[in-house]
Amino acid sequence: MKAITNISSLICITRSNQPFKTKEDLNNIDEINNAAVIFDENILWIGKSRDLHNTIDEKNYQLDEIIDANQKTVIPGFVDSHTHIVFGGNRANEFARRLQGATYIEIAQEGGGIQSTVKATRLASKQELFESASQLIDSAIKHGTVAFEIKSGYGLDLDTEIKMLEVIQMLKNKFPAEIKSTFLGAHDFPIEFQHDRDAYVDLICSEMIPEIAKLKLADYCDAFVDKGYYTIEHGRKIFETAKKFGLEIRTHADELDCVGAAELAAEMGAKSADHLLFVSDYGIDAMRKNNVVATLLPGTSFFIRLPYANARKIIDTGNIVALATDCNPGSSFNENMQMILWLATLNLRMSMEEALIGSTLNAAYSLDLHNKLGSIEVGKEASFLMLNDVSYKELFYHYGSNHIAKVFIKGAEYTY
Ligand code: NIG
Ligand code: FE
């Protein structure tokens, strides 16, 4: 058992077991000044520094260590609820071409993009995929991420999709961070099925989903429902099958064009619809009515120079908004959630408080982790970050450097 004392600003987010926050409540981050926390794997007590010693005596707590925060800030660990962190190869040359004017879609149409990562991922061994993903996860944790969602989707055949999902299992065993896995067989169409897309959707439904569900390798099923990729009908068929096999739904939605993917997410009772750059007003409304989390990925708009999602409209109409990296080798090669917080304030026009809640509690809710993570409250896991700063505002103001002094996951300091 340990305590941290002399915390200038403890950002709890909530202490009343709220599963998520919306609207005006997004500006209330439940801050305590001059605070202390007592924890083992879980949080046992939260209060003022001046009450720490009395509490230890009264409750007869046996502490191994009292850490002096030296008037620094403590916030909940970030939850990165949308990543493609397991992949083979590298697309730096594509990025160079994009800087010279080629667009993401043009490169994809020439057989680059997702397809080039599919080739490299099919060729890579499990160990190679595990090692490169481990480096990214280690770096993400050092930048404050304590929970991840990781998707397959660079295999597009049953064997490689299973290989990717098994690598995600290996990562779950290696890292103390919480990891949820998502089957994204419907990411792109494999070259073998380029001229018979419906046949690949049939294969996903008749063979891939049943096998992956049987092996218990995925928590969620996702599909890239967008212009040039999966149609609404494809998405509906895939999601209905996934639900029959016990997988929950999260989806790439309206990233490249407005195709009604957010409405489909609402119809299917998805946990989350992600990207939403071109979502319609109907889609926004349907998501709100069905508690579908709107996961915004500003790193992608930044990296492939697309417009930003209309976060203001999505928030002001009462939707549950979460933030994530979309970490992947093509459209957003970034594992650092602090980068996403900067972009959310400057380019999504979210307040600092909205960005903090979006990257903690609301993201945890989208992964069904809100009972363990997302806020600093008694009973939840002791997974939080000590910043180098006196105020959380510095985290946004001083952009481009790592603000994390210490990362605690389930009570233990992360020291890989
Ligand atoms: O979320 N939209 C689809 N998939 C990824 C891009 C993947 C890639 O380019 O490798 C995304 O942006
Ligand atoms: Fe994505």
Whether residue 394 sits in one domain with residue 356: no
Final residue before a domain boundary, out of 331, 346, 366: 366
276 C-alpha vs ligand 1 centroid, how far in Å? Answer: 13
Give the model confidence (pLDDT) of 328-371 as tens digits: 999 999 999 999 999 999 999 999 999 999 999 999 999 999 99
Whether residue 361 sits in one domain with residue 224: yes
Contact by Cβ (8 Å): 183, 209: yes
pLDDT confidence of residue 416: 66
pLDDT confidence of residue 114: 94
Give the model confidence (pLDDT) of 127-159 as tens digits: 999 999 999 999 999 999 999 999 999 999 999
pLDDT confidence of residue 312: 98
The CATH number that applies at residue 285 is: 3.20.20.140
| Position 25 pLDDT exceeds 70 | yes
Whether residue 181 sits in one domain with residue 157: yes
Rounded distance between C-alpha atoms, residue 276 and residue 297, angstroms:
9
Whether residue 392 sits in one domain with residue 331: no
Rounded distance between C-alpha atoms, residue 241 and residue 235, angstroms:
10
pLDDT class of 216 with cuts at 50, 70, 90: very high
323 C-alpha vs ligand 2 centroid, how far in Å? Answer: 12
Q: Which ligand is nearest to the CA of 150?
A: 2
Give the model confidence (pLDDT) of 225-262 as tens digits: 999 999 999 999 999 999 999 999 999 999 999 999 99
Whether residue 113 sits in one domain with residue 245: yes
54 C-alpha vs ligand 2 centroid, how far in Å? Answer: 49
Contact by Cβ (8 Å): 3, 46: no
Domain count, the chain: 2
Pocket mutation for ligand 1, best pick of 328, 335, 340 (most atoms within 8 Å of C-beta): 328
Contact by Cβ (8 Å): 224, 186: yes
Whether residue 355 sits in one domain with residue 253: yes
267: tokens are: 């119809």
pLDDT confidence of residue 346: 98
Give the model confidence (pLDDT) of 44-57 as tens digits: 999 999 999 999 99
pLDDT class of 42 with cuts at 50, 70, 90: very high
Whether residue 146 sits in one domain with residue 12: no
DSSP result, 134-187: HHHHHHHHHTTEEEEEEE--S--SHHHHHHHHHHHHHHHHH-SSEEEEEEEEES
pLDDT class of 108 with cuts at 50, 70, 90: confident
Rounded distance between C-alpha atoms, residue 183 and residue 149, angstroms:
11
How many CA within 13 A on the CB side of residue 282? 9
351 C-alpha vs ligand 2 centroid, how far in Å? Answer: 24
Give the model confidence (pLDDT) of 251-309 as tens digits: 999 999 999 999 999 999 999 999 999 999 999 999 999 999 999 999 999 999 999 99
The CATH number that applies at residue 35 is: 2.30.40.10
Contact by Cβ (8 Å): 359, 145: no
Tell me the H-state helices in 28-157: 52-59, 92-99, 104-109, 114-123, 126-142
Domain that holds residue 395: 2-77+374-413
pLDDT confidence of residue 410: 98
Is 149 near ligand 1, meaning CB less than 6 Å away? no
Closest ligand 1 atom to the C-alpha of 87? Answer: 10
384: tokens are: 């939080």
Whether residue 405 sits in one domain with residue 302: no
Whether residue 312 sits in one domain with residue 186: yes
Whether residue 271 sits in one domain with residue 342: yes
Whether residue 149 sits in one domain with residue 67: no
User: What integer is the mean pLDDT of 31-36?
Assistant: 98
- Residue 115 phi/psi, 5-degree rounding, is -60, -35
